[in-house]
Amino acid sequence: MYDGWKIILGLIVFVIIVTLPFTMSIGKPYVQPKPSIDTPEIQKMEKKQCIEPKQYMREMHIKILYSWKDYATREGKRVYVASDGKQYDVSLQNTCMKCHSNKEKFCDECHNYVNVKPYCWDCHIEPKVGGVK
């Protein structure tokens, strides 16, 4: 093999880089994210349910929000009719965050865990926890 040592060295470097995500987390304790729904607004509710059932929201919330932004901004449709027939204002700030007023303990909990950074908050204002921003 021509330049055999170069190829082998390259392969070693490649393997190290590819396995970095696994090797870097060795020794770190696994902490399951626990998004909190303990907010004054939710506590006041009789039946503690989001606009749709929990499992659906868990899987689909980003798709809902993603389509909401188009419905509201581009089509002027601002009334969401939930599967149980209840109606909600199509608004991240004025519907979702009115109940989930604890962004850090709710949204960020999982987003940080899976290392996603939704750009919603570049523009949308998160609820006041002792002041906006």
| Interface ranges with other proteins (CB under 8 A) | 60, 62-64, 66-81, 90, 93-94, 119, 122-125, 127-128, 132-133
* Residue 12 or 79 having the CB closest to other proteins: 79
Tell me how crowded residue 121 is: count the other CB atoms within 10 A of its CB.
13
Is residue 111 helix, strand or coil?
helix
* Residue 21 or 27 having the CB closest to other proteins: 21
Q: How far is the CB of 7 from other proteins (least distance, A)?
A: 11
| Total residues belonging to the chain | 133
Q: Which helix (H) or strand (E) holds 54?
A: helix 54-75
Q: How far is the CB of 79 from other proteins (least distance, A)?
A: 5
Q: How far is the CB of 31 from other proteins (least distance, A)?
A: 26
Q: Buried b / exposed e across 53-76, counting CB within 10 Å, b at 16+?
A: eeeeeeeeeeebeeebeeebeeee
* Residue 27 or 83 having the CB closest to other proteins: 83
* Residue 25 or 94 having the CB closest to other proteins: 94
Kindly give the pairing relationship between strand 87-89 and strand 79-81.
antiparallel
Q: How far is the CB of 45 from other proteins (least distance, A)?
A: 21
